[in-house]
Amino acid sequence: MRILVVEDEPHLLRSLAKALREEGYAVDTAAAGDDGLFKAESYDYDAIVLDVMLPGMDGWQLLERLRRRKPTPVLMLTARDAPRDRVRGLDTGADDYLVKPFDLSELLARVRALIRRGAGKPWPRLEIRDIVIDVRSRTVTRAGQPVWLTAREYAILEYLAYHRGEVVTRTALYEHLMDESDDTLSNLVDVHVFGIRKKLGADLIVTRRGHGYCIET
C-alpha cells in the first residue's frame, strides 16, 4: 500500500514516514501544500496523511482541490482541537481527523482502517487454504502456526490476497507498494515474492509470464 504524508515539520515528517515504512507501507512525502497536491493528483495513493498548517497552500485548500478530482482517503492532522475545526475538516472531505500530539499506534490504526474502508474490504481476516492473514494485527499464520514475514513481504501478500483471482502486474505492485526512494528498475518485487513462497509454499503465488503475479481462487 502506498501512502502520502504531507507535513511541514521535518522531525514529525521523518518520524511518520519511518513508522509507516516499518509497517510495510510505501511512503512518499511532501513538506508544502503545492508539492503535496501535485503528488496527490499524480499518483493513486491508498491513503493520505495531511497536516492542516502548511506553507503556501494549507491543508484545507489542498483537500478542497483534491476532492474535485479524487476520493483518496485522507487523515487530517492538526493542533486545533476546537469542534468547529473538526467539523470543517470533515465537511471539506476528510475521512478522519487526529489532533496533535497523538500516539503513533493510534495513527497507524486509523490509517489501516482508512485503507480498509477505502478498498471496500472491512474484514480484518483473509483466508487462503490453511493460511490466515490478520489485517488488523498484520500477522500471518499457516496451519495455526505463526509465520514471520518482513514488512514488504507482508504488504505484497496482503495486496495479492485482496486481489485474489486477479493477475497483478509488477507495475501495479511497484506503484502501490514501493515509494519514491525505491529503484523501480530493480528486482525488489521478485525477491520479496521469492521470500513469501519460501515461507508459505512455492505454489501460493503463481507467476504469469509477461503479466505479473496471482493468488488463484
What pLDDT does residue 44 have? 84
Phi (first) and psi of residue 197, to 5 degrees: -60, -40
| Section 115-130 average pLDDT | 75
CB 155 within 8 A of CB 24: yes
Alpha carbons 111 and 40: distance in angstroms, whole number: 16
pLDDT tens digits for range 83-107: 777 777 778 888 898 888 899 999 9
Cα dihedral 14, 16, 21, 27 in deg (nearest 10): -80
Could you give the domains of the chain? 2-118 (3.40.50.2300), 125-214 (1.10.10.10)
pLDDT tens digits for range 132-165: 998 878 899 999 999 999 888 998 998 899 889 9
Higher pLDDT pick, 179 / 190: 190
ω before 71 within 30° of 0 (cis)?
no
**pTM assigned to the model:** 0.71
Position of cell 529503484?
183
